[in-house]
Amino acid sequence: MCARHAGRVTVPAQRTPQPERTRVMRARLMQATIDCLVERGWAGTTTTLVSERAGVSRGAQLHHFPSKRELVVASVQHLADQLNGDLERRHDEAIHGRGHSTRKTLGLLADHFTSAIFVASLELWVAARTDAELLEIVRPIERRWGREEHRLAVELLGVDDSHPPTRALVQGTLDMMRGFGLANTLSDDSRRRGRILAEWAELIDNNARPAVAGAAPTGKAR
């Protein structure tokens, strides 16, 4: 509408180059897939529903993702990025905001494990158990994600990860967080969680060995 014939550069802002539009379209579809997972679960995530939710015609959907499988695979990667992004964001907030208590770090982790993206991950996780193809892409992502969580926890808690008992305590705590995430899906579990976390902070403070001051086990120490 703005160019073509006369080559007028009057309205350059509206024109989006093709590759960018494709990128946006794919992102819309992947996000809609994740939203559907959260709202309807794995079994309820149909291609029709996704296309409606994304506001994309069925034809366009099939153009960008020829099969449901490809859509799901791409969405899993998309979700992985979001998981890492969420962790990083919470990490940065914790670093910059002052008040570095153990309790706050635990709250931060618990929030991560009760977020919508965790719920979407849970759906994929459980679905992957009985879907070999899906398992192959979900498993490595889950591994990396778990390691990131561990790294973040160790760093924010400021504990010595090379000390076996401390390491086990951190790992167990993260597994507990996963348990929290699971329990939170059926009904709001925040009261109970809060009570446990309050005691848990003391447990960690009393039992985890603090990181050696200058040491930087994984990356930079706090």
Partner DNA sequence: ACATAAAAACAGTCAAGGTTGTTTGTATCT
Partner DNA sequence: AGATACAAACAACCTTGACTGTTTTTATGT
Residues in contact with a second copy by the rule CB under 8 A: 39-44, 119, 122-123, 125-131, 135, 138-139, 142, 164-165, 168-169, 171-180, 182-183, 185-187, 192, 195-196, 198-200, 202-203, 206-207
Q: How far apart are CA 213 and CA 180, in angstroms?
A: 32
Binding partner at 202 among DNA, a second copy, none, C-beta below 5 to 8 Å by kind: a second copy
Does 39 contact DNA by CB under 7 A? no
122 token code pair = 């849970």
For DNA, the closer CB: 58 or 129: 58
* Range 61-120, binding DNA (CB under 7 A): 62-64, 66-69
Backbone angles phi, psi at 159, to 5 degrees: -115, 170
Q: Which stretch binds DNA (CB under 7 A): 57-65, 89-97, 145-153, 208-216?
A: 57-65
Max Cα–Cα distance, the chain, nearest Å: 75
67 token code pair = 């099969």
* Alpha helices per DSSP H over 45-101: 47-54, 58-64, 68-96
- Range 206-222 burial, b when 16+ CB lie within 10 A, else e: eebeebeeeeeeeeeee
Binding partner at 35 among a second copy, DNA, none, C-beta below 5 to 8 Å by kind: none
Residues within the interface to DNA (CB under 7 A): 1, 4-7, 15, 17-18, 21-22, 25, 46-49, 56-60, 62-64, 66-69
